Amino acid sequence: MIRIRAQQIARGLSQIIGREFLKENIKTSIKQPTQSQSPQHPWSSVSSVRTIAMLPWPFSQSRDFSLPNSSWGSDMRRLYEHYNSQCEVETEEGGKKWGAWRRLPSYNRSIKFATGGVYLSKIIQSKARLFTRSVKEPGAAFEYVMFVNKEEEKCVCVFQAGHLLEGPPGHVHGGAIATMIDSVTGTHATYLSGPVMTANLNINYRSPIPLGSTVLLTCSLDKKEGRKTFVSCQVTNTDGSKLHTEATGG
């Protein structure tokens, strides 16, 4: 993944890491402009946060697609609960504090007046939806939720593949698997290095994924080189005993 420059920042941010997360980080950046310039800060490349913050995002009206719905099977719910319970933990005094993991919200719209959009017809601009969230029927296509662990530099995604993702009969399309890998590696690299775009994706398909099943994508940092961030991703069954696909993204 290659870190993108200030003028490109509007692109891809909201759908990758979720608007609320971005909103929160932007607030922080505005309040503490000097701190946000630290080289270690994930948003260090955000040189003009004010422009982004002024964009008219309808935060309150957007549905967060990464929350449980009636289509989620038992595997999906169990893994969601497993990671979600580690997002907020109880303190010794009976209060609550942030845990090791953090759930990333997910929306189906990207920034409305982004740079890329000016070249498009108004019809396409108004109807555009994030690929992985473009099907309205719950459970029909991509059902997923991502969690990040800052300390361990790790990102996981619980993914339930719906009936509209078929490739080989009864199994998930290789392109749908690639789509989830691209989304998770892109999200993780953005979390680690600030806004990035995928430059390379190398995928090895080991074993087909049955349609309707839930799998776990686990993404970890390989290395950072200048503006480039390299991550790797494994797609396994829910207990990790069977490897379906493995990939590297850079």
Binding residues for a copy of itself, per CB under 8 A?
Answer: 10-12, 15, 110-111, 114-121, 123-125, 127-132, 134-135, 140-141, 163-171, 173-176, 178-183, 186, 197-205, 208, 210-212
Smallest distance, a copy of itself to C-beta of residue 104, A: 16
Tell me the Cα Rg of the chain.
Answer: 18
Nearest approach in angstroms of CB 135 to a copy of itself is 7
Q: How far is CA 30 from CA 12, 19, 55, 109, 243, in A?
A: 20, 16, 15, 24, 44
| Amino acid found at 187 | T
21/101 with CB nearer a copy of itself: 21
Minimum distance from residue 92 beta carbon to a copy of itself (Å): 44
Is 182 a known active-site residue? yes
| Of 77 and 82, CB closest to a copy of itself | 77
d(CA 158, CA 200): 23
Query: Which residue is catalytic, options 64, 182, 222, 239?
Result: 182
CB of 33 to a copy of itself, least distance (A): 25
Nearer to a copy of itself, 192 or 211 (CB): 211
Nearest Cα neighbor of 150 from 41, 35, 232 is 41
Amino acid identity, position 65: F
- The per-residue DSSP string of 39-84 comes to TTSTTTT-S-HHHHHTS---GGG---TTS--TT--HHHHHHHHHHH
Just list the catalytic residues: 182
